[in-house]
Amino acid sequence: MSSDPIAIQVEGLGKRYEIYETPRDRLKQFLSPVVGALRPSARRDYFREFWALRDLSFELKRGETLGIVGRNGSGKSTLLQIICGILRPSLGEVRTHGRIAALLELGSGFNPEFTGRENLIMNASLLGLTPSEIQDRYDDILAFADIGDFIDQPVKTYSSGMYVRLAFAVIAHVDADILVVDEALAVGDAVFTQRCMRFIRAFQGRGTLLFVSHDMAAVQNLCQSAIWLDKGRLVEFGPSQSVAENYLRETLQSVYGDEVTLASVESQASTPAADPAVPSEEPVVDYGARAVFSSQLDRASGWKTGSAEIVGVELERRDAPGDPGVLEGWEWLRLRIRARAHADLERPILGFILRDRLGQDLFGENTLPFTDAHPTRVRACRTFRAEFVFRLPMLPNGQYVLMASVADGDLYDNLQHHMMHDACVLTVSSSKVRWGLVGVPFSQLSLMTDDVR
């Protein structure tokens, strides 16, 4: 790994394209030096200049994550391609320190006629792995990509999801110092996206990440700082929170006009309004969403020590045992996790966490509160199970995964024996939860005018 504290330095960067109205103009331009040499007065240009990037300067320290935001055509991909050395700048300079691996737009990086296996080997070697390193990591890359027999098909037959799986699997195994990810993760399914997010979060501890996204929640969640590009120029470079907010505000204003002012609300001393009505017990607005659970133990990824393993994860409605069916949010559920001990466990712990698309932990629990009061030992070759009864929160649309785990020990000193990352997938659609990570049912919503005095 490079020891330079600066990973990326961009100075006065500009990228100029020459736009020709017709192919004929391109030919005339090609011939213009000859014409100009013969008749200097006839010399002219046949193109229009277009600056995709202008006068861009910023620096990124090693280990930091930078988000890049901006509308379509603002220059984000151009910047990434220059940083990765795929495009040459017209002006200025980019200095990078360390090995760069990039997941750019679909279609770049692989030869469509070659098989996945051939592309894997070619790409890994272009990214700096020796033949023996490729051989050592080959099985891990295949397991990460998880595209089965398609690995021996030409990549031109791949779906966009399979393409990204293979491309990401390669860049995740080349010991990159700088990772560049351009929106491509959006095409992966929930389980694969989770796998990538786990890798990205682990990578953030050791490497530098450039992350282009139109998802401001993702930018705020993943990145310390961000740059906002507009028509190739830098509008703002600063903490991701404020850059994303300012970008969103500007986007809203461009849609709704300047009357949209999202000024921060100062706290105002005001007399609290009298409670206008007695809150009713029942929610007044139907926030129900459609949520479908699918178990996928056979495809779940993770790791185990061999001393204990999860053998079952089942979810059902507490009041209608047998099948979770379609869930709406806020109903009582029963989650059962079953495990088998392959060695004696002194203080077994079973637990789960529900994660969103960015791999953020939403909520979870384990059996420690129970075993603290009722110490329980499990002998080798026995199965044991935990039951968690809880109310499902209302969730925004999207896919969620449930991680189940078995460990042995106590709160401060425990050994994980099996961590199963994607035991179930929960797909939520038609949710009316708009803000935040979860919703709650409101028992009262009203709008009233104040009395005029």
* Residues linked to residue 69 through DSSP beta bridges, in sequence order: 228
Q: Which residue lies nearer to ligand ATP by CB, 83 or 313?
A: 83
Report if residue 213 touches ligand ATP, rule: CB under 6 A: no
Binding mask 147-166 for ligand ATP (x = CB under 6 A): --------------------
Q: Which residue lies nearer to ligand ATP by CB, 231 or 432?
A: 231
Q: Which residue lies nearer to ligand ATP by CB, 74 or 119?
A: 74
Q: Which residue lies nearer to ligand ATP by CB, 50 or 332?
A: 50
Q: Which residue lies nearer to ligand ATP by CB, 105 or 152?
A: 105
Pick out residues in 34-73 that bind ligand ATP (CB under 6 A): 50, 52, 70, 72-73
Cβ proximity of 381 and 345 under 8 Å: no
Cβ proximity of 220 and 240 under 8 Å: yes
- Mutual orientation of helices 160-171 and 131-145 as an angle, nearest 10°? 140
Q: Which residue lies nearer to ligand ATP by CB, 17 or 30?
A: 17
Q: Which residue lies nearer to ligand ATP by CB, 209 or 350?
A: 209
Binding mask 291-330 for ligand ATP (x = CB under 6 A): ----------------------------------------
- We find the least distance from the C-beta atom of residue 139 to ligand ATP, in angstroms, to be 34
- We find the least distance from the C-beta atom of residue 171 to ligand ATP, in angstroms, to be 19
# of chain residues touching ligand ATP (CB under 6 A): 12
Report if residue 74 touches ligand ATP, rule: CB under 6 A: yes
Cβ proximity of 16 and 58 under 8 Å: no
Which residues have a Cβ under 8 Å from the Cβ of 42 and sit 6 or more positions away? 35, 36
- We find the least distance from the C-beta atom of residue 6 to ligand ATP, in angstroms, to be 24
Which residues have a Cβ under 8 Å from the Cβ of 159 and sit 6 or more positions away? none
Q: How many CB atoms lie within 10 A of CB 373?
A: 7
Cβ proximity of 94 and 83 under 8 Å: yes
Alpha-carbon dihedral of residues 163, 71, 62, 94, nearest 10 degrees? 90
- We find the least distance from the C-beta atom of residue 426 to ligand ATP, in angstroms, to be 30
Q: Which residue lies nearer to ligand ATP by CB, 18 or 64?
A: 18
Q: Which residue lies nearer to ligand ATP by CB, 73 or 325?
A: 73
User: Six-digit token pair at 100?
Assistant: 């760069």
- Residue 420 CA to residue 426 CA, distance in Å, equals 15
User: Order of strands across the sheet with 332-341?
Assistant: 308-317, 332-341, 383-391
CA-nearest of 413, 441, 344 to 384 is 344
Which residues have a Cβ under 8 Å from the Cβ of 375 and sit 6 or more positions away? 347
Pick out residues in 10-39 that bind ligand ATP (CB under 6 A): 17, 19
- We find the least distance from the C-beta atom of residue 74 to ligand ATP, in angstroms, to be 4
Report if residue 240 touches ligand ATP, rule: CB under 6 A: no
The CA-atom distances, in angstroms, between 47 and each of 19, 87, 375, 394 are 5, 20, 79, 56
Report if residue 264 touches ligand ATP, rule: CB under 6 A: no
Report if residue 78 touches ligand ATP, rule: CB under 6 A: yes
Footprint of ligand ATP (CB under 6 A): 17, 19, 50, 52, 70, 72-78
